[in-house]
């Protein structure tokens, strides 16, 4: 079977775009070939900074002949229907169709379509120009004479203006060869904007810039290797990682590995050469995180550490050339740049630990938050409030948000086992590092620097830790905070975000979630479930919602009041009362004065439903069955840990033989009861033992009464395994009842009594879950 080789060689492609672009090329080409009737055995993409390559193995040499029938309308159909049929079938006249007869439907048209197969070379030449011209890049460019305005020319090349070929960087050559291993491949010489596909490429820009010809992929890959180009990105990564580890080990050091940086660096070089540079040891007084980010962000280099200790003053860099001096000048030059960058970082670090120059102007903010202005981080918090940095136009400033988080953290603290005073202090300082010089230069260090600076000024260890951990978890694989103060502040931070955006109706829609609210909700779920924290979210949500709604209305009426005063227009009586009420409520924190419970309860219910949706996703990812989750969750469920434990216990119970049989019996009882209720059949309000005719009825009644008492007691103790055990005792009595008793007895009183028994079964199982929602 023939193989297809494609290479698109250009100027340097940004590292962050290479992997996706290569994958897009593979998908675009293989989809187009399959759509044209070809098949293939395997396809793999490759990329380097200067080329995208595609190796397709076992591609069929020709597409199959296609014979198909397209059924059309009746021969008596109107002209409009006939015209649509001809368009669909590609006919120019209805006489080109055949008439078929059906005994029931009569005569109708059928188009017999025959499409001869095409050679793969023809198909490839036809699809490739469109794929290249329509290729999607995050950013692209035009170049050369062809990009000049239409109508102009340069050395005989006509300008095409906006229609000129666009690529991420100027495209220099194209390889397209096709053929079996046993023969010389065919060059498919399609053209696009002056470029003609061929079998020629070139190697490393500096070491082997000369052109050479290739035949098929193995030949192509080998010749590139000899021309100082490692085509496989994963192999380049392994070379870099292995050489870096060995070089570090030879110096008695360890490599601080960074997968994201390794990915990026492997996309910057075609021929990786690993070197070691160094900087002055004086810079090691800077925290390790700052040094690592400075070297990573500015120079794309890896830091090294001394075994069992902190960072070393040496670092690993990756060059794209083999220098004649062994790379000493390259390492020296990189060291000079790193030293300059670390000098800046040292300045930021020292500046953040000194007093701000405008402390007098921060007194009002310091008083508002109860800050100690002799401490640098407190000064930065006062500055954050004083600057009025906007969190969201409708939700106020960062300072106002910090106040809300602090109040909510203090309310949550007793529930999660934290000291309310420490939780409040931690919340007050949690965002303070946003105004530090280091975070201004390296936003990735927000929280990290808060922890470091809080520790330096003598804060409680839990307060310092919360400055960093309250942002966690930042993704499904990130760790959750475990310290009680961190938990309180992290929950308050995320709940305030969710409540705020729900209050202004900025909820996620479809795939759009610009404020990462799904991630915030999942963070709340993971913190509660993975730390075993039981909390009734409803109460805290409603209080937070009322607080936010009052602030929003206070802010809007204040703006309106100021605008009216400026235009000398009097308030209406109703507006004046509303404004006065909002001011009073805002200052007294008595939020029910302005907002009754209805609006906040509506938002709470909607937000709780959102939590339920995210919890379902989380539990399904943990392996829970979706029907069990639906059976346990009710609209009022606000204890997320309790829901999780119920689902786990229910799943374990239904995996047993007793559980499966009870499920069948409970569903049978529920279905009979629902059908009779729908028909309006009378169901007794209570079970009357005097109407029992069978021992099976007596035994079932006694079993249900006993199991309900036991299950209720177990649920109150949150022992769901015991509750399931109590329900398990119903299995035999339920089975026996259905075997022995006819529910729809002729006697109306007996029938109503037996239906009441079924209602008892439904009530007993419903204490744990809605069994009607469970499949099986």
- Structure tokens belonging to residue 545: 């919602």
Q: What DSSP assignment string belongs to 99-129?
A: EEEETTTEEEEEEEEEE---BHHHHHHHHHH
Q: Terminus-to-terminus CA distance in the chain, angstroms?
A: 49
**Burial of 527: CB neighbours in 10 Å, binned 0-12, 13-18, 19+:** buried
Cis check for the bond before 473: say yes or no (omega within 30 of 0): yes
- DSSP secondary structure, 728-758, as one string: HTTHHHHHHHHHH--SS-SSHHHHHHHHHHH
Residues with Cβ within 8 Å of 35's Cβ and at least 6 positions away in sequence, in order, are none
Please report the pLDDT score of residue 582 as a whole number.
56
Mean residue pLDDT across the chain: 89
Average pLDDT estimate for 291-303: 94
Q: Give the burial string for 306-317 (b: 16+ CB within 10 Å, else e).
A: eeeeebbbbbbb
DSSP H or E run through 260:
helix 259-266
Average confidence (pLDDT) over 322-326:
94
Nearest alpha carbon to residue 58 among 6, 4, 104, 17: 4
- Check if the beta carbon of residue 546 is closer than 8 Å to that of residue 538: no
Residue 154: predicted pLDDT: 62
Q: Which of 127-131, 476-480, 662-666 has the lowest mean pLDDT?
A: 662-666
For position 64, what pLDDT does the model report?
A: 87
Q: Is the pLDDT of residue 562 over 70?
A: no
Region 515-541: what's the mean pLDDT? Answer: 94
What is the predicted pLDDT for the residue at 714? Answer: 87
- pLDDT tens digits along 357-409: 989 999 999 999 999 999 999 999 999 999 999 999 899 999 999 999 999 99
Provide, rounded to the nearest whole percent, the portion of the chain with pLDDT above 90.
61
Higher pLDDT, 39 or 682: 39
**H-helix or E-strand spanning residue 384:** helix 376-387
What are the pLDDT digits (tens) for 185-195? 999 999 998 89
CB 550 within 8 A of CB 586: yes
Strand-strand pairing, 42-48 and 51-57: antiparallel
> Which tops the pLDDT comparison, 254 or 597?
254
Angstrom distance (rounded) from CA 462 to CA 263: 36
- Band the pLDDT of 738: cuts 50, 70, 90: confident
Residues 6+ apart with CB under 8 A from 462: 418, 419, 422, 426, 483, 484, 485, 486
pTM summary value:
0.76
pLDDT at 156: 62
pLDDT digits (tens, 9 = 90+) for 473-524: 998 889 999 999 999 999 999 999 999 999 999 999 888 899 999 999 999 9
Residue 593: the pLDDT is 46
């Amino acid at each position: 079977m023939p193989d297809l080789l494609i290479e698109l060689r250009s100027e340097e492609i940004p590292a962050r775009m290479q992997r996706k672009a290569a994958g897009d090329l593979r998908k675009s080409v293989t989809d187009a070939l399959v759509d044209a009737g070809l098949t293939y055995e395997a396809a793999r993409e490759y990329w380097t900074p200067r080329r995208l390559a595609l190796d397709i193995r076992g591609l069929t040499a020709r597409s199959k002949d296609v014979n198909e029938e397209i059924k059309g309308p009746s021969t008596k159909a109107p002209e409009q229907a006939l015209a649509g049929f001809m368009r669909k079938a590609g006919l120019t006249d209805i006489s080109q169709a055949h008439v078929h007869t059906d005994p029931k439907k009569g005569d109708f048209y059928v188009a017999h379509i025959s499409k001869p197969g095409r050679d793969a070379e023809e198909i490839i030449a036809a699809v490739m120009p469109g794929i290249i011209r329509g290729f999607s890049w995050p950013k692209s460019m035009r170049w050369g004479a062809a990009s000049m305005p239409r109508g102009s020319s340069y050395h005989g090349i006509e300008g095409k203006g906006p229609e000129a070929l666009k690529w991420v960087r100027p495209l220099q050559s194209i390889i397209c060869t096709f053929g079996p291993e046993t023969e010389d491949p065919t060059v498919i010489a399609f053209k696009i904007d002056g470029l003609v596909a061929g079998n020629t490429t070139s190697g490393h820009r500096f070491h082997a810039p000369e052109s050479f010809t290739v035949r098929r992929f193995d030949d192509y890959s080998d010749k590139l290797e000899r021309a100082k180009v490692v085509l496989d990105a994963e192999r380049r990564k392994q070379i870099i990682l292995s050489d870096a580890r060995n070089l570090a080990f030879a110096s008695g050091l360890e490599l601080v590995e960074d997968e994201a940086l390794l990915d990026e660096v492997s996309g910057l070089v075609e021929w990786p050469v690993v070197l070691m540079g160094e900087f002055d040891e004086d810079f090691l007084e800077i925290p390790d995180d700052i040094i690592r980010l400075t070297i990573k962000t500015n120079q794309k280099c890896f830091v090294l550490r001394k075994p069992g200790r902190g960072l070393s003053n040496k670092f690993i860099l990756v060059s794209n050339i083999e220098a004649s001096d062994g790379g000493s000048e390259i390492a020296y030059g990189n060291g000079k740049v790193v030293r300059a960058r670390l000098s800046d970082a040292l300045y930021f670090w020292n500046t953040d630990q000194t007093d701000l120059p405008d402390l007098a102007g921060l007194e009002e903010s310091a008083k508002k938050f109860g800050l100690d202005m002799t401490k640098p981080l407190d000064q930065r918090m006062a500055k954050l409030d004083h600057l009025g940095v906007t969190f969201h136009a409708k939700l106020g400033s960062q300072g106002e948000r910090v106040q809300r988080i602090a109040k909510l953290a203090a309310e949550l603290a007793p529930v999660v086992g934290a000291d309310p005073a420490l939780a409040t202090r931690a919340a007050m300082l949690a965002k303070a590092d946003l105004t530090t010089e280091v975070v201004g230069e390296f936003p990735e260090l927000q929280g990290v620097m808060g922890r470091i600076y809080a520790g330096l000024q003598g804060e409680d260890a839990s307060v310092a830790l919360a400055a960093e951990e309250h942002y966690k978890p930042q993704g499904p694989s990130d760790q959750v905070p475990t310290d009680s103060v961190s938990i309180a502040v992290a929950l308050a931070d995320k709940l305030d975000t969710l409540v705020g955006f729900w209050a202004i109706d900025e909820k996620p829609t479809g795939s759009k979630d610009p404020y990462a609210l799904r991630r915030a909700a999942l963070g709340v779920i993971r913190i509660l479930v993975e730390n075993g924290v039981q909390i009734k979210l409803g109460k805290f949500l409603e209080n937070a919602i009322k607080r936010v709604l009052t602030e929003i209305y206070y802010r809007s009426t204040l703006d309106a009041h100021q605008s009216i005063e400026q235009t000398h227009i009097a308030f209406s009586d109703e507006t004046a009362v509303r404004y006065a009420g909002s001011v009073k409520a805002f200052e007294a924190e008595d939020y029910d004065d302005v907002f009754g419970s209805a609006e906040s309860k509506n938002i709470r219910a909607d937000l709780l439903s959102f939590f339920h949706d995210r919890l379902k996703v989380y539990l399904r990812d943990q392996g829970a069955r979706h029907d069990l989750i639906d059976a346990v969750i009710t609209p009022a469920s606000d204890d997320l840990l309790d829901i999780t434990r119920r689902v786990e216990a229910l799943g374990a119970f239904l995996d047993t033989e007793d559980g499966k049989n009870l499920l069948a019996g409970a569903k049978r009882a529920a279905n009979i009861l629902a059908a009779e209720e729908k028909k309006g059949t009378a169901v007794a309000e209570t079970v009357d033992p005097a109407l029992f005719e069978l021992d099976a009825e007596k035994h079932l009644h006694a079993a249900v009464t006993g199991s309900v008492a036991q299950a209720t007691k177990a649920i109150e103790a949150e022992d769901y395994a015991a509750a399931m055990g109590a329900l398990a005792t119903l299995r035999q009595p339920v089975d026996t009842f259905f075997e022995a008793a006819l529910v729809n007895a002729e006697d109306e009183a007996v029938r109503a009594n037996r239906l009441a028994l079924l209602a008892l079964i439904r009530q007993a199982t419903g204490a744990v879950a809605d069994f009607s929602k469970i499949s099986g």
